[in-house]
A and B are shown apart, each in its own frame.
Chain A
Amino acid sequence: MAQKKFVVGCFEDEKVLFPAVAKVRKEGYKFHDIYTPFPVHGLDHAMGLRETSIHTAGFLYGMIGTTTAVTFMTWVFTKDWPVNVGGKPNFALPAWIPITFELTVLFAAVGMVLTFCYICQLAPFVKKHVFHPRATDDFFVMVIECGEKTNEQELTDLLKSVGAQEVNTQVAEEGWWIGRYDQEQSLYNEPNIA
């Protein structure tokens, strides 16, 4: 578990946030993430994030579902337990379409949710550092990762100049951990939290 230093700037308005994102990006800083109270259209594009691959994953999970359904039913109805149902052939593909469809959807949906949770580092009993509690309420919280050469003071000034309401520096665990917040206080310390 690695602790890292982050500079956190909080914005109150989307209209201020977008030019700020463009400016910070232009200066060459690396975003850790931007936490917003609601989905903001076009923010991913402004941050320069790459297109998500979750749909490709979803397609693959769907294909696995289709294959599972078809091979399982084929094995059951032609090899393991062939039954004559209303004179239909044992390999009765039209009758299997609904089940194949359901399994495709099930695999794709569950697979995508789990993948999404893994990527976002969300799981039961797993904790992540919260940079600002108001990110779930009314603050747009921009978190910038500090590299070796990052000048903290310059970055703080920059964020203030582009309209951040609050700016602070936090040293925190960047990934997730299993445990509880109160017992794991030693994992991070926050010098200037508001």
Chain B
Amino acid sequence: MSKQQFEISAGYKKWTNALLGVGALALVLGFIFLAMSKEELAQTRFWAVLLQNSVFFLLVVNASMFFICVTTLAMGGWQMAFRRVPEAISSLVPVFSILALLVFLGIIFTGQYNIYHWLDKEHVEHDPILKGKSAILNPTFFLVWTVISLFLWSWVGSKMRQLSSKADEKMNKEESKKYIWNNTVWAATFIVCFGLTVGSTIPWLWLMSIDAHWYSTMYSWYTFVSSFVAGMSLVALFVVYLKNHDYLEYVTEEHLHDIGKFMFAFSVFWTYLWYSQFMLIWYANIPEETIYFKPRMQGVYRGVFFLNLITNFAVPFLLLMRRGAKRNYTTITFLAVLIILGHWVDFYQMVMPGTVHEHYVFGWFEFGILALYAGLIMFFVGKGLTKKPLLAKYHPFTKESIIHHT
């Protein structure tokens, strides 16, 4: 009989505190040496790294709620055995929303023109392209739309989590039917909000507007799928951790296999979108479009550019292809870590060429902030997991998940 309720172990706490300590130190040092520096480049680096990390990890934890809502809408039952894990991860959305909002406020109010050059009113006046886009690319619209999106994710997500708590108590057949219907309605609401934000507008505002002259219709999907595949990997990591510590009694290798399939399939889907974006620009060869790939493919980012393809496509594609690999804790853990780091690098190469240009560094600050976010995820997910039993015992689909067989 395995344990029903998650308890934070001493080892878990130690790692959390260590990561948080390193991260906080990096943030403080970064603030002193980079943000307060007289050098423009150091300031830009500070805000660019914060932007990359806060956006990436916010979208990654939000992907958990997307996963829950999609499986709910598809009447999926297999995920019930571990559904409390993505739920706990998605409970980070409000926290990371506030952090991301602080970063945006910082960028806008300290006037970081190197990050978003559409913030520079004088420059926009003389720039017909930016002027044409100024109805959307202006601080008011940016902040209002950001706040609305963050609120919707947090609010509808918390509704879904509240509904999930009801499955801890017994319900009869009529109540079960109503319960499923309620879940469906809220999940559908979330998907609509998600499509209008993460699936389209939010990546335009937060990331694509760094290269404000340039645009790509693939960009939002590309950003979304990047965060989704990393989000599934994060779920996989926690599921493996909990299984190894004698929790999640009903999760078998069948469930892990299905999570692995998500990691595999969406790595391929990411590549498909990457290629769709790249190929048209490469083929048409129009200067205003190729400007995006010029520094990445032929400039100093060449290494990062190809590393991105190797870690996010070639390795997961070849290593996760076998059935046995998806059912093996070691390979899943290794690839989950690789995919998360790979997409972290992916976001890095989305942000940096437009902000710090050729002066990019993978230094103490970049990895310090990564550690900070890793620590925050461990801290809050651990806390979220302790709040509820790890199995929604009376959810109508729980049995389906227990007998799940691929």
Contacts and interface: CB of A to CB of B under 8 A. Distances in A.
A87 B285 contact: yes
B279 A42 contact: no
A95 interface: yes
Interface in A71-113: 86-88, 94-95, 97
B141 interface: no
Interface string B58-86: 00000000000000000000000000000
Nearest to B403: A41
A115 B65 CA distance: 42
Given A41-B405, A86-B285, A94 B279 contact: yes
A84 to B, nearest CB: 13
A59 B321 contact: yes
Given A41-B405, A42-B405, A94 B321 contact: no
Interface in B310-341: 321-323
B405 A94 contact: no
Contacts of B279: 94-95, 97
Contacts of B285: 86-88
A55 B323 contact: yes
Nearest to B322: A55
A87 to B, nearest CB: 7
Given A41-B405, A42-B405, A94 B283 contact: yes
Nearest to A55: B323
Nearest to B406: A41
Interface string A109-128: 00000000000000000000
A95 B321 contact: no
Contact of B278 (A42, A87, A88, A94): A94
Nearest to A62: B321
A46 B163 CA distance: 40
Nearest to A51: B323
Interface residues of A, number: 11
Nearest to A97: B275
Contacts of A55: 322-323
Contacts of A97: 275, 279
A95 B405 contact: no
Interface string A32-55: 000000000110000000010001
Contacts of B322: 55
B282 interface: yes
Contacts of B405: 41-42
B12 to A, nearest CB: 36
Contacts of B283: 86, 88, 94-95
A7 B285 CA distance: 70
Interface string B373-406: 0000000000000000000000000000000010
Interface string A51-73: 10001000100000000000000
A41 to B, nearest CB: 5
B151 to A, nearest CB: 41
A87 B321 CA distance: 37
A8 to B, nearest CB: 28
A172 B42 CA distance: 83
B326 to A, nearest CB: 12
18 contacts: A41-B405, A42-B405, A51-B323, A55-B322, A55-B323, A59-B321, A86-B283, A86-B285, A87-B285, A88-B283, A88-B285, A94-B275, A94-B278, A94-B282, A95-B279, A95-B283, A97-B275, A97-B279
Question: Would you list the 3 A-B pairs with minimal beta carbon distance, nearest first?
Answer: A94-B282, A94-B279, A41-B405
Given A41-B405, A59-B321, A95-B283, 8 more contacts: A42-B405, A55-B322, A55-B323, A94-B275, A94-B278, A94-B282, A94-B283, A97-B275
